[in-house]
């Protein structure tokens, strides 16, 4: 199966098989604004969450659009590909980060910058490219 194939995206719309505990527990959604301070650039020290540790410890990072509730892969596409081929899927550290994916905000760019700065890359594929790839 090719990395970035539609099957990967389809298989992990609800990645409960890979969640820690693997009992289908709900993955907590973390609003992006809790990770950043009021200025939108610095980390939010009052939230009790260190975004660097959160991102560093995740095997898979999913974005969740606040309006459409559409989930998309931000990081971990290779991990998910390997998991689909495994006889027994591995447990994974999966986090969902809620953001406004709309064109009037920079939420997506801030999340991608955070992930790329910590993980060295991101695996985000834009929605239009994703729709086009699904048709082929």
Angstrom CA distances, 18 to 15, 59, 131, stand at 6, 10, 25
pLDDT band at 42 (very low <50, low <70, confident <90, very high): confident
pLDDT band at 13 (very low <50, low <70, confident <90, very high): very low
Angstrom CA distances, 78 to 8, 37, 61, 69, 96, stand at 9, 31, 12, 23, 17
What number is the average pLDDT over the span 28-57? 81
pLDDT tens-place string over residues 54-95: 899 999 999 999 999 889 999 999 999 998 888 887 888 889
Domain residue ranges in the chain: 1-12+48-136
pLDDT tens-place string over residues 108-129: 999 999 999 999 999 998 766 5
Within 10 Å of residue 45's Cβ, how many Cβ atoms? 9
Which value, to the nearest 10 degrees, does the dihedral of the CA atoms of residues 48, 122, 63, 61 take?
A: -60
């Amino acid at each position: 199966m090719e990395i970035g194939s539609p099957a990967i995206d389809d298989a992990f719309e609800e990645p409960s098989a890979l969640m820690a505990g693997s009992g289908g527990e709900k993955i907590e959604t973390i609003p992006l604004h809790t990770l950043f301070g009021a200025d939108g650039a610095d980390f939010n020290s009052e939230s009790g969450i260190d975004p660097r540790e959160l991102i560093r410890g995740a095997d898979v990072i999913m974005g969740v659009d606040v309006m459409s509730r559409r989930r998309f892969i931000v990081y971990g596409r290779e991990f998910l590909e390997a998991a689909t081929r495994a006889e027994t899927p591995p447990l994974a550290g999966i986090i969902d980060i809620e953001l406004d994916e709309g064109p009037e905000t920079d939420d997506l760019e801030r999340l991608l910058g955070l992930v790329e700065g910590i993980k060295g890359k991101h695996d985000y594929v834009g929605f239009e490219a994703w729709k086009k790839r699904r048709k082929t």
